[in-house]
Amino acid sequence: MSTTVFSRARIIDPSRGIDQVGTVIVEGRKIVAAGKSALNQGAPQDATVIDCAGKAIIPGLIDARVFIGEPGGEHRETIASASLAAAAGGVTSIVMMPDTDPVIDNVALVEFVLRTAKDTAIVNIFPAAAITKGLEGREMTEFGLLREAGAVAFTDGRHTISSALVMRRALTYARDFGGVIAHETQDADLASSGVMNEGLYASWLGLAGIPREAESIPLERDLALARLTGGAYHAAKISTAMAANAVTRAKADGANVTAGVSIHNLSLNENDVGEYRTFFRLTPPLRAEEDRLAMIEAVKDGTIDIIVSSHDPQDVDTKRLPFADAAAGAIGLETLLGAALRLYHNGDVTLLRLIETLSTAPARLLGLPGGTLKPGAIADLALVDLDEPWIVSESGIRSRSKNTCFEGARLQGKVLQTMMAGRTVFSA
């Protein structure tokens, strides 16, 4: 059994509330020690010892919202290419959205994803299954059988379920099988043909706007249904102060509710759309600066539980179009950590809290392994230089699609090594 010793690292383990200099020892697939107390612990003669002075060890990131093109859109991204991108970004687990072709709404598709992942992926791929067949918002999928096959959550991906009745039954039925219902809310009627945040900027560009209420009206409905049913509800990608307030209230009422935010809504605002830059066409849209600041506040105060990349690979055929005709979405696996660390470097969020939202919290929320450096835990971790500056460039992107919002951006914090179950899957 091989042993790796990461000595003198800054250990960030939100699962134990630890931020201290110490040593992490990995033996085989497991962490055997991680902390100050392990600093002088002996290691076998053949152990690989890595001096990590000035560097940090964090639990591998768990990205709970990742769109992949396989099956059906392999030219945009495969499970294998997404896993390469993930490993380079310090992400050791991906929760894969069911918006594929065919849709992941039956056991055979879950099995296909897990089999393909086993054969081709270098990080953990956890499929989320559709709430409704074909993502059509009408008939429930087989929650029980899908859970048993390995689906870790239920979500209609990019789609919002318009029927309150369907949502009520999904929340009620999923409760029996311990499944979380993760939902992106955008009222299709109210959003109409909108393509960016409603406001003065959209008006000058002549683009139809999406009001904030398009997000919070179906969200408020869902939160009421979560209270009614006691089902586990996850507001997958909120973007407005209004939505954050609604989640805060539901949590205070004791509802079984959690919330996530895309890194884009924490890092960028509507002005980044510039002159019709289609890579910045996202769902939810980039909002006003006040909303971005409210999202940071919500991460700090615990209203928002997790940060996701919302990685959504799009090719030139769907992005090299006039803004309103282009597909929404941006990739983000490789830049998730670097972009999130801006919040730490700016002094907005503590490192411990930040890593919690990127790793420990999503593991807890979805019942996944990882998200911890506790002795005995699976050795999913990343070695990071928190301060190293780098510039994102298209040529360095491993993802099959290059639609990043961070092209040319200066980020601070670079992944040096990523380990998945004790095996190095990336090293810079």
For residue 383, what are the β-bridge partners?
57, 417
Nearer to another protein, 49 or 200 (CB): 200
Nearest approach in angstroms of CB 197 to another protein is: 9
- Contacts of residue 179, Cβ cutoff 8 Å, sequence gap at least 6: 143, 147, 151, 153, 154, 232
DSSP H helix total and E strand total for the chain: 14, 18
CA distance 328 to 338: 22
Nearest approach in angstroms of CB 208 to another protein is: 8
Contact footprint for another protein (CB under 8 A)? 198-209, 211, 275-276, 317, 320-325
H helical segments located in 126-262: 143-149, 164-176, 188-191, 200-205, 213-229, 241-252
Question: Helix, strand, coil: what percent of the chain each, to 5?
Answer: 35, 25, 40
Nearer to another protein, 280 or 344 (CB): 280
Nearest approach in angstroms of CB 175 to another protein is: 40
Nearer to another protein, 47 or 321 (CB): 321
Nearer to another protein, 123 or 282 (CB): 282
Structure-token match 């009421």, residue found: 224
Nearest approach in angstroms of CB 322 to another protein is: 3
Q: What is the DSSP letter of 272?
A: G
Nearest approach in angstroms of CB 217 to another protein is: 17
Nearer to another protein, 194 or 338 (CB): 194
Q: What is the DSSP letter of 212?
A: T
- Contacts of residue 83, Cβ cutoff 8 Å, sequence gap at least 6: 94, 117, 120, 121, 122, 123, 125
Nearer to another protein, 2 or 192 (CB): 192
Nearest approach in angstroms of CB 34 to another protein is: 51
